Amino acid sequence: MLLFTLTSVSAQVKFEAKVSKKKLGVNERLRIDFEMNKDGDNFVPPNFKDFTVVGGPNTSVSNSWVNGKRTYSKTYSYFLAPKKRGTFTIKQATIEIEGEIYKTFPVTINVTAAVNRPNAPPEASDIAAENIHLVAEVSKTNPYLNEGFTVVYKLYVSPETGVSNWREKDNPRYNDFWSQNIEIKGLNIQKGLYKGEEYRYVVLRKTVLYPQKTGKLKIEPLVLDITVEVPTGRTDIFGRQIMTKVPKIVTAGSRTINVKALPEQDKPADFKGAVGDFTFKLTTSKTQLNATESLQAKIEVSGKGNLKLFELPKLNTPSSLEVYEPEHKESVRTNLTGMQGSISDIYTIVPQFRGKYPIPSVSFSYFDLATESYKRITTDEVVIDVLEGPTAVTATTENNTPSTKQAVRPNPNSFAFIKTNSNWISIKSEPFFKSSGFWALLLLPFLAIPLAIAVRNQRDKRIADIQGNRIRKADRLAKKYLSEAKKNLDQKETFYESLERALHNYLKAKLNIETIDFNKERIDALLSESKVQQPVISDFISILENCELARYTPITQLTMENDYEKAAKTISLIDKQMR
């Protein structure tokens, strides 16, 4: 009877591997499902050495009651692409169910040459490829050197399909360009045409580029890893279309930009590379003052163009004016039309002598895109009138001709800060032996013994305080993993990416698991095994769900602060309860 009971219980557990097909072409994909009728832990997939894993693991759970009988099913799904032709064996997968280890049977797959399926019904991956497109729209493909243009990445999705999840797999690097991304607040779904057909689309990224070299420059593609929902052609009992999820990698493709050089004809000798539409002016804070007082002279360029990518002309002043290094200021904003605003150099000037000093005019040249020609702006001369102060001595040449150079009168107090007299006082030297310092150094080690004993007792007491040490360690871990997220509380996307990364890194450090094992059921099982209370586990999983949801919904600053505090508290509680 005992043997019969054990056999009956064992027969109730099923764990098997199911494949979508056992014969396929090298250009086709294979789906393999590891299905069980009872929940298990420590699932270990086989080594797919002869295949490339293009999707998965995807986890699905089914739990239903029919006529009072409970039916449970849990499935781990992988999508595989064969690496070459031949006959290959997918080895056993293992899982632990109710303390017992169960294994699947090996599955043999025959991979043939590439197949052409003109009359066969399209597979889900083919439907996804035809109904989802990533496009890089370039505002100008033949700009001048240092002329701004934009790249807008749009994801087009047909009405029959949907997207449930996406992530950037490879970000483009804009070599030979100055670039700046434009912040996108929320993903707004819009309607538009793609190759003459109606599609829905979202704008994923906007980037402003300024080419820094001439010739043909390449913009690297943006690559996305997307989960696409495609119709299966079947309906449920309510007549609704049944959808299936397919992993898909889409790319916008590389784009080539032909950058034109600026014309050499009529190029000014003092041209610094400014391209756009600008105004230029020289202003001073005052034109009348006394010697040794200061004034500020400001050279400013404002308008639209490559404001951050060229130098301002220098200010020339008479030698009798003491001029300090300029303070550079920028007030520039960047949007889809390029850089707009102003840049300036502010010089502090201090006159030394009485008189009138002209600040020569300053010239600024730039390339105007509207007329495709060079333009020059020249300021007026500014005269500084110094009313009071010492008079400069004019030096003469041997033929009594006045010189333009001014001699500086020496100041007799220039070196007044140097002391020429000492104020040394004599001291009487006394022997160190038997002095107060001698006895203090002799007795100090003996006086330190009680203090050392007290410190050691306090240290032993702290080491013996296991609960206190655990609390302090938990707090340190929370601060360590959440420090980066706290720095980004003012940026929603960056904050939740940092928060999710912190939670993942914490779990990897504490549970010694890889990122591929991060799913709710796996986390719940591992934390439960470590004696973490269920409310704390629920809070941890809810924070992870908030991180995923927050990327696509508007979030207030208060909500972000609450999520941060909740995450810190939850990590601390997990570390205290974990065994």
Q: What is the pLDDT of residue 404?
A: 46
pLDDT for 369-399, tens place per residue?
999 999 999 999 999 999 887 887 654 334 4
**For residue 313, pLDDT beyond 50:** yes
Between strands 69-82 and 30-36, the pairing is antiparallel
User: Contact at 8 Å (CB) between 88 and 54?
Assistant: no
Helix (H, G, I), strand (E, B) or coil at 438: helix
Residue 326 binned pLDDT confidence (cut-offs 50, 70, 90): very high
Say which CATH topology domain 466-577 has. Answer: Four Helix Bundle (Hemerythrin (Met), subunit A) (1.20.120)
Radius of gyration of the chain (CA): 38
Beta bridge partners, 241, equal 235
Q: Which fold has domain 14-118?
A: Immunoglobulin-like (2.60.40)
Percent of the chain with pLDDT over 90: 31
pLDDT digits (tens, 9 = 90+) for 474-524: 566 666 667 777 777 777 778 888 888 788 777 777 776 665 556 777 788
Which H or E run contains 191?
strand 190-194
pLDDT of residue 469: 63
Same fold, 276-386 and 466-577: no
pTM of the predicted model as reported, rounded to 2 decimal places: 0.50
Mention the CATH class of domain 276-386: mainly beta
C-alpha to C-alpha distance for 151 and 208, rounded to whole angstroms:
7
Host H or E run for residue 87: strand 86-90
Domain boundaries, given as residue ranges, for the chain = 14-118, 125-259, 276-386, 466-577
pLDDT tens sequence across 327-382? 999 999 999 889 999 999 999 999 988 899 999 999 999 999 999 999 999 999 99
| Three-state secondary structure string covering 29-68 | CEEEEEEECCCCEEEECCCCCCEEEEEEEEEEEEEEEECC
**132-138 and 107-112 beta bridge pairing:** unpaired
Higher pLDDT, 165 or 304: 304
Q: Which of 178-192, 243-257, 397-411 shows the lowest per-residue confidence on average (mean pLDDT)?
A: 397-411
Over residues 200-213, the mean pLDDT reads 93
Q: How far apart are CA 181 and CA 338, in angstroms?
A: 11
